[in-house]
Amino acid sequence: MRNLALTIIAASLLVSQVQSKKPAAKAKVPETSHLVFVTEYIRELSAYEEIRSAAQEELKQGTAENDTLSTNVHSSTLFQLELRSEVRMLRGMHLNPPFDYLIPGITKFDEQKIVLWRRLSDICSTLLEGPKPGVDYGKFLAEVPKVRANLDYIDQALFEATPGVFATLIDPKPDSKGHTSHLIITKSERQKLIANLNTDFGSKLDQKDQDYIVSAASVLRSYLLKDFKCSDEPWD
């Protein structure tokens, strides 16, 4: 009996050791407020457009080739700094299904843009340094439009994701007619988002031939202006 008891105790200890070595279950990450996410999305669009607009004005004032290269290095660096900040912010956010794809997707786009802006900065820095033996400057110059094309492609993808960003604000609960006619935000919260877009982008939102970033802001505002009711308005 004593041997049997010792065997049972030994087996129990072995089981407890094995169980203690199992990886701990990941704690469920709380969902970020959808309003907080959309507010941050607008801020990121605004910050990006502000850098682009400032660089464009700086380029207009430049006269020499070196001025253009210096401006490109400057703006490329600012883009990288802003995008790194955005990545850090987004990594602290989480959305539940069916919107769980949005934040990882936007983060990935930002990371790709960091690489591209760094490459553009490196090319312009090399050209600023002046001629060096053995350097194929023609190859560098030919790479610039390719980098810019990739940046445009990513901005287009972000623009196309904007309806999904707005959809996070739609209350999935149907009204009496079976329509999703309400938002999960209040009237004042909705007006604050619209005011942010109007303040940050101004008349650009109504201009033709917008770039993809301004177009994303314009699309978001148009959705916010649609006849959705807010959470503090009566249901039909």
- C-alpha to C-alpha distance for 41 and 45, rounded to whole angstroms: 6
User: Can you give the pLDDT of all 236 residues of the chain as single tens digits?
Assistant: 334 333 333 334 334 444 445 555 556 779 999 999 999 999 999 999 999 999 988 888 865 566 788 999 999 999 999 999 999 999 999 999 999 999 999 999 999 999 999 999 999 999 888 878 877 878 888 999 999 999 999 999 999 999 999 999 999 999 999 999 999 999 999 999 999 999 999 999 999 889 999 999 999 999 999 999 999 999 88
Distance from chain centroid for Cα 3: 65
Report pLDDT for 2: 35
Listed in sequence order, the residues at least 6 apart from 99 whose beta carbon sits closer than 8 Å to its beta carbon are 34, 164, 167, 168
pTM assigned to the model: 0.84
What are the residue ranges spanned by the domains of the chain? Answer: 32-224
- C-alpha to C-alpha distance for 183 and 232, rounded to whole angstroms: 9
- C-alpha to C-alpha distance for 191 and 66, rounded to whole angstroms: 45
Positive or negative torsion for Cα 137, 84, 79, 193? positive
Tokens linked to 97? 């299904």
Tell me if residue 170 falls in helix, strand or coil: strand
Residue 229 DSSP class: B
Phi-psi region of 202 (alpha: psi -120 to 50; beta: other; left: phi over 0): left
Tokens linked to 204? 């650009």
Q: What is the chain's alpha carbon radius of gyration, rounded to the nearest angstrom?
A: 26
Report pLDDT for 123: 93
Listed in sequence order, the residues at least 6 apart from 70 whose beta carbon sits closer than 8 Å to its beta carbon are 62, 124, 128
Report pLDDT for 172: 95
Report pLDDT for 130: 80
The pair phi, psi for residue 173, each rounded to 5°, is: -70, 125
**Alpha carbon separation from 84 to 44, 51, 114 (Å, rounded):** 11, 14, 7
Report pLDDT for 228: 96
Q: Judge contact between 217 and 161, C-beta under 8 A.
A: no
What's at 98, amino acid-wise? Answer: P
Report pLDDT for 174: 94
Report pLDDT for 64: 59
Task: Name the residue among 6, 24, 25 with its Cα closest to residue 14.
Answer: 6
